[in-house]
Every structure is written in structure tokens, then in C-alpha cells.
């Protein structure tokens, strides 16, 4: 109408109205946080690897049991 393009509203970042501002960290604090982050990341990675390995072992045990179920049950002649 007045020759200007319509103004576009940017909704990429929706902030809550009364949001607390971000806490600034010192360089020393950032280094400590990063060190802790890396430590926790590797702990999580090792825990996941252990969990996956245990699941694989359990899967192999179940596959072996399904092929040879008589190992858990006594032979009828032995009862």
C-alpha cells in the first residue's frame, strides 16, 4: 500500500517472556566444564559398549539354547 515490502516476523527463536539471561562463564570455568564433559562422554561411551556387548552375549546364549534345548532338561532315562 505504501510502497514498502511487508515486514516479516522471525520466529526462529521463541523465547519465554521472563527467561533468565545466560550465565557468563570465565575461561577457567569453561575449561573445567569441557574437561568434565569429555570425561562423562567417554564414561557414557564405555557404558554403552558394555551394554551392547552384554546384549550380544545374551543373544548368542539364547540362539545356542534354541538350537540345543536339551542341555537344560535331563534325559528322560535319567529321571
Cα separation, 9 vs 1, in Å, equals 18
pLDDT tens for each residue of the chain, 79 residues long: 567 666 666 666 666 678 899 999 999 999 999 999 999 999 999 999 999 999 999 999 888 888 776 655 566 665 5
Establish if 1 belongs to a structural domain. no
Tally of domains in the chain: 1
Establish if 5 belongs to a structural domain. no
Establish if 16 belongs to a structural domain. no
Establish if 6 belongs to a structural domain. no
Establish if 9 belongs to a structural domain. no
Establish if 76 belongs to a structural domain. no
Domain holding 35, by residue range, is 27-69
Give the global pTM.
0.51
Q: What is the DSSP track for the chain?
A: --SSPPPPP--SS---TTPPPPPP--HHHHHHHHHHHHHHHHHHHHHHHHHHHHHHHHHHHHHHHHH-GGGTS--GGG-
Amino acid at each position: 500500500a505504501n510502497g514498502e515490502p511487508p515486514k516479516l516476523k522471525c520466529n526462529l527463536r521463541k523465547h519465554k517472556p521472563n527467561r533468565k539471561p545466560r550465565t557468563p562463564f570465565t575461561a577457567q570455568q569453561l575449561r573445567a566444564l569441557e574437561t568434565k564433559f569429555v570425561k562423562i562422554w567417554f564414561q557414557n561411551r564405555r557404558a554403552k559398549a558394555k551394554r551392547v556387548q552384554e546384549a550380544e552375549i545374551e543373544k548368542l546364549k539364547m540362539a545356542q539354547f534354541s538350537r540345543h534345548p536339551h542341555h537344560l532338561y535331563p534325559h528322560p532315562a535319567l529321571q
